A = this chain, B = another copy of it.
Amino acid sequence: MSRKRTLLGGLVLTALFAILAVLVLPAAVAQRADDPLPSWNEGATKQQILEFVRSVTEPGAATFVPPDQRIATFDNDGTLWVEKPTYTQVYFMLERIKALAPEHPEWRTTQPFQAVLDNNLAQLEQFDEKELLQLVFASSAGMSQEQYESEMRQFFATWRHPRFDRGYTELYYQPMVELLTYLRQNGFKTFIVSGGGMDFVREVAPRIYGIPPDQVVGSTIEYECQVADTCTTLIRKPTVKLVDDSAGKPVGIQTHIGQRPLFAAGNTNGDIQMLQYTWARPRAAFALLVRHDDAAREYAYEQHPASEKALTLAQQQGWLVVSMQRDWRRTFPFEP
C-alpha cells in the first residue's frame, strides 16, 4: 500500500468517524445525560423510584413535599457498600488489635483477644456482645479523637477487599451512589444511618458518597473532654452511647436529623424499624430494600436469617425490593 493511499484511507476514515460522531455519539451522550440512574436496568423497579421522586417534587401536585422535608436515610453495610465476607470495620478492628498486641502480652492467653491473634475467625463468630465490645473498646477507645482518626486513615489507605482486591474507594454499589446523587439533585438531603461505627463511616462518606460527616448517623461510644475546664481535646471512652441498629435507628434519626425520613433504604433485619418509621410518615413515603441475590457479581445471602424477616415484611408492606441481579446493570464502579 502506497503512502498516498494510506493517507487517503486515513482521511476517509477520519471523515467517516467525524460523521459517525455527529450522527451517533451525541444521541448516546444525550441518552446518558438524560438518565439519572444509568447503572439501573430499565423496568418496574427503576420506574417506581423515578415516579416517586417526580410525584414529591412536582410543584402544585397534591403529592408535593417541600424541600426541607425531603430527608433520605440510607443504611451503609450491604446497602451502599459490600459487607461480606465480613464488615470492613471488623478488618480494621483486627488490624488494630494485632498492632496493639505487643503492649498487651496477656492477650496471647485471654479471650476474645487470643482468637484475633490466632486468626480464628470461626471462634470470633461465636463471641457474644460483651466479648465483641471488649474488642471494640480495645481498638477504638482510650485515645484522643484525633489519634483515632489518624489510625482509621492509615487503615483505609492500604486495606483491600479479600475477594475483589480493591480498596474502599471502589467497593460501593454504583447504582446506589447514583440514587444518592439523583435524590440530592431533586432537593433531598441524604443521610447515612448505619449500625456500624459512626466515626468509621464518617471517615469515608465524604469521598465515596458525597455525604459530609454531620450527615452520618451511626453506633457510637461516648466522648469526654480530656480536661473538663480547659477542653482542647476529646477522649474516646470505653462506654456505648448509641447502638444505631434495629430499634436504635429511629432513635438515631430523631437525635441527629430531627424529622421522619421521606425515603429510606436498607438491606437486612437491622433496617426494619427505620423502614417502618419512614413508612408510617403521614402522606408520602418510600421504603427500599436491597436483595443480595447475585453471587456472580457480589454475594447471595437473601435467604440468610439476617435478611429473611425484612424481605417478608417488604412484600407484606409494599416496600420496593431491589434485586441486585435483575435491577442493576452494574454493581461496582470498577466493572466495565
Chain A residues at the B interface, C-beta cutoff of 8 Å: 68, 145, 189, 191, 198-199, 202, 206, 212-216, 220, 222-225, 228-234, 241, 246-247, 250-251, 254-259, 273, 276-277, 279-280
Is A277 a contact partner of B231 (Cβ separation < 8 A)?
yes
Pairwise interchain contact B247-A231, C-beta atoms closer than 8 A: yes
* B233 contacts A280, C-beta separation under 8 Å: yes
B220–A255 contact, CB under 8 A?
yes
The answer to whether A232 touches B189, judged by C-beta atoms less than 8 angstroms apart, is no
Residues of B within 8 A of A251 (CB): 222-225, 234
User: How many angstroms from the CA of A191 to the CA of B212 in the assembled complex?
Assistant: 14
Q: Are B256 and A256 in contact (CB under 8 A)?
A: yes
Q: Could you tell me the dominant secondary structure of chain A's interface residues?
A: mixed
- Chain B residues lying within 8 Å of A280, measured Cβ to Cβ, are 232-233
* Cβ A258 vs Cβ B213 within 8 A: yes
Contact A199 B258, beta carbon cutoff 8 Å:
yes
Residue of B nearest to A250 (CB): B231
Interface CB pairs A-B, < 8 A, 14: A68-B212, A189-B212, A199-B258, A214-B214, A214-B256, A224-B247, A225-B250, A225-B251, A225-B273, A231-B273, A232-B276, A234-B250, A234-B251, A241-B255
Measured between C-beta atoms, what is the minimum distance from A309 to chain B in Å? 10
User: A256 to chain B: which residues have CB within 8 Å?
Assistant: 214, 256
Q: Are B247 and A225 in contact (CB under 8 A)?
A: yes
Q: Which of A191, A222, A225 has the most CB of B within 10 A?
A: A225
CB-CB under 8 A for A257 and B214, given A232-B276, A247-B225, A251-B224? yes
- Complex Cα spacing A280 to B247, Å: 37
Whether the Cβ atoms of A258 and B223 lie closer than 8 Å is: no
Indicate whether A277 sits within 8 Å of B214 (C-beta atoms), given known contacts A206-B68, A220-B255, A223-B251: no
CB distance from A103 to the nearest CB of B (A): 26
Tell me the minimal C-beta distance from A93 to chain B in angstroms: 20
Q: Shortest distance in angstroms between A78's beta carbon and chain B's nearest beta carbon? A: 20
- Known: A214-B258, A257-B214. Is A230-B145 also a contact (CB below 8 A)? no
Quick check: B212 and A254 within 8 Å, CB to CB? no
- With beta carbons under 8 angstroms apart, the residue of B222, B247, B279 that contacts A228 is B247
